[in-house]
Amino acid sequence: QQPVQSPQAVILREGEDAVINCSSSKALYSVHWYRQKHGEAPVFLMILLKGGEQKGHEKISASFNEKKQQSSLYLTASQLSYSGTYFCGTEVSGGSNYKLTFGKGTLLTVNP
Amino acid sequence: DSGVTQTPKHLITATGQRVTLRCSPRSGDLSVYWYQQSLDQGLQFLIQYYNGEERAKGNILERFSAQQFPDLHSELNLSSLELGDSALYFCASSVETGTGEKLFFGSGTQLSVL
C-alpha cells in the first residue's frame, strides 16, 4: 500500500526549514528517501531501518518512528539546490520479496 | 550520471500499438526495477528482476511484461497501448548497502500514447 506524504507541496525562502512527513498503515521495515529535480531521475538520499534511528546528510536529516509507522525528513537552512520533489519509499515488515513502494511525493520549492 | 542506461528517451505512438523499453543496469548490479511515474500517482512499482529471475511484482498490468536477459539488461514490453499508459517509465538497478537496497535510476523513457 502506498505511503502517504504530507504536505503535497511547500514553498520556502532560502535559509528556512521544512519538514516532510511520510506515514504508512502497515508495519514498516525501512523507509527510503529520494529527491527528484525537475526533468531528472530520482536520486537516493538515505535509508532508515526500524529502530527509530535518525540519519543525516549535510543539512538534511530524517527520523523513523517504528511504532507510529512514520518517517519525517528535515531540511534545515534550505538552499536553492534543495528544490525538487521528495519521495519516501517504504518496505513492509515481513515481506517475502523486496518491494519499495513510493508515496506521491512532496514538491519543495526554495526561492531566493 | 547514475550508470543506468535507458532507451529510447522519448517514444510517441498510437493507441493499440506495442512498444519495448530497454534498460541496462550499472555494471555489476544484478537487480533491475521498473517504475511508472505519472503526475497523479507518483512512482508506481511495476516489477523487479534479479539475475534473470522475477523477484517481485507490483501494479503491473497484464498488457505489460518484462524480462531480464543473461547479460542483465532488461526490457519492458507494453502492448495494446491506451491513452492512460502515457507516463515516464524509469528503470533502476540497486546495490545492497547493508541497511537496504539503494536504487540508481536511469533517466527514463517518456512514453506518449496518442
Q: Encode pLDDT of A42-87 as tens digits.
A: 999 999 987 766 677 678 999 998 888 999 999 999 999 999 999 9
Residue B59's pLDDT band, with cuts at 50, 70 and 90, is confident
Given an 8 Å threshold on Cβ–Cβ distance, is B102 in contact with A91?
Answer: no
Please tell me whether residue B84 adopts helix, strand or coil conformation.
helix
pLDDT band for position A27 (cuts 50, 70, 90)? confident
Task: Determine which of A31-40, A46-55, B101-110 has the lowest per-residue pLDDT on average.
Answer: A46-55
Q: Which three cell numbers stand for residue A41?
A: 531521475
pLDDT at A96: 54
Phi first, then psi: give them for residue B84, nearest 5 degrees: -70, -10
For the segment B90-101, the average pLDDT, to the nearest whole number, is 85
Phi, psi of A29 (to 5 degrees): -95, -40
Nearest neighbour of A87 by CB, restricted to B2, B33, B43: B43
The closest CB to that of A47, out of B40, B99, B104, belongs to B99
Residues 6+ apart with CB under 8 A from B98: none
Residue A110 has pLDDT above 60, yes or no: yes
The predicted structure's pLDDT at residue A94? 62
Q: For residues B39 and A80, which has the higher predicted lDDT (pLDDT)? A: A80
User: Which residues on chain A are in Cβ contact (under 8 Å) with B54?
Assistant: none
- What pLDDT does residue A95 have? 57
Q: Report CB contact under 8 Å: A104, B55.
A: no
The mean per-residue pLDDT over the stretch B48-52 comes to 93
Exposed e or buried b for every residue in A78-106, given b needs 16+ CB within 10 A?
A: beeebbbbbbbbbbbeeeeebbbbbbbbb
Average pLDDT along chain B: 93
Q: What mean pLDDT is predicted for residues B85-100?
A: 89
